[in-house]
Amino acid sequence: MKKKQSANMKDVAALSQVSIATVSRFLNNDLSRMSEETAKRVKDAIDKLNYVPNSAARQMVTKSSKMIAVVVANIDDYFSTELFKGISSILESTGYIGVLFDTDTNQKREIQLMDSVNSQSFDGLIFQPLTSDMSLIENEIRREIPIVIVDREIELSPWPQVITNNYEAARNAMLKFQTKGYKHVIILSSEINIASTRRERYQGIKSVANNVDVIEISEKSHNHKDIHKEIVSLIKKSDEKTLIFAIKERWLLEFIPGLMTDGYIDDMNVTATGFSDTDLARAIEPKAELIEQNPFLMGASSAEVMMDLLNDDDAKKIPSKLIIPAKLK
């Protein structure tokens, strides 16, 4: 049986009575140089011929893969999930595809994934690095492509950054809880010194509170019983009102429900707050005051900055640092 030959751009151009260049512009979503009638003819021809664009062939012509690498720290965190959703919402509306890489909070894995990104033909990179060390990041990035850093503040960064006001948000929240009499703070965090976000939040809390205990939890930890016991022990030892402050939403979701069930959080002598990325923490305790981030907006904003870079917009007009504020609500 003879194999049916696939349609090509030349066939589409002939059927729609336009040039191959016009078909190419249509496929690249560049409709500014054609009428609505012409665009409709090209679309109808594509549908009739069941034409599927050959991305590899198009890439050879346009020198563009229409793909953006998105490297995040941990897809298990709702923050990274919402971040990627925001990025995808903008990229897809402009004809690009975001390709997600998860470093799983592992530096070796991040290096390996960045090797893959460097060897592939991505048009750009949106990067949530594990570290804020500029020298380490520079060693990982070896391609001259547009880059946007998200959720990490890096000193002397040559790339635009989309971040949260971590220090101010944590400090302002601590000030408010201190006026309510909460003097003892138990901080729940992943390893603080690794990421700028955690350091800034910790410093914001410490700028207000003097009686602070820190429990650093491994991202790989599933030993919740021991962590639960440690929190309870610290609550019992203190003769001051205690605030449990989760640096990230994951620790709110994993530890606060158990403490509530056991009666340790009564919103009188012991209460909890932290950074929240979704509605899940609010669903657990509707009356809780939480620091609401907007990772979806951070992702969308980083993708918009990427589009500006790809479109060769005036670099001077692209902000070196875009802050998406988080607020206690």
In-domain check, residue 319: yes
Residues 54 and 156 in one domain: no
Identify the pLDDT of residue 21: 83
Residues 215 and 245 in one domain: yes
Q: Which residue among 62, 87, 104 closes a domain?
A: 62
Residues 194 and 229 in one domain: yes
Distance of CA 169 to the CA centre of its chain: 18
Identify the pLDDT of residue 63: 64
Residues 117 and 75 in one domain: yes
Residues 85 and 50 in one domain: no
Q: What is the pLDDT of residues 61-115, one digit of tens each?
A: 556 788 999 999 988 888 999 999 999 999 999 999 999 999 988 888 998 888 8
Residues 192 and 225 in one domain: yes
Distance of CA 223 to the CA centre of its chain: 27
Residues 71 and 55 in one domain: no
If one counts the domains in the chain, the total is: 3
Residues 284 and 143 in one domain: no
Ranges under pLDDT 70 in the chain: 1-5, 53-63, 221, 313-316
In-domain check, residue 2: no
What's the rounded Cα separation, in Å, for the pair 247 and 183? 17
Identify the pLDDT of residue 267: 80
Residues 142 and 130 in one domain: yes
Identify the pLDDT of residue 2: 44
Residues 225 and 261 in one domain: yes
Model-level pTM? 0.76
Residues 213 and 277 in one domain: yes
In-domain check, residue 117: yes
Domain that holds residue 51: 9-62
Residues 268 and 184 in one domain: yes
CATH code assigned at 47: 1.10.260.40
CATH code assigned at 173: 3.40.50.2300
Helix (H), strand (E), coil (C) string for 204-260: HHHCCCCEEEEEECCCCCCCHHHHHHHHHHHHHHCCCEEEEEECCHHHHHHHHHHHH
What's the rounded Cα separation, in Å, for the pair 98 and 50? 25
Identify the pLDDT of residue 3: 46
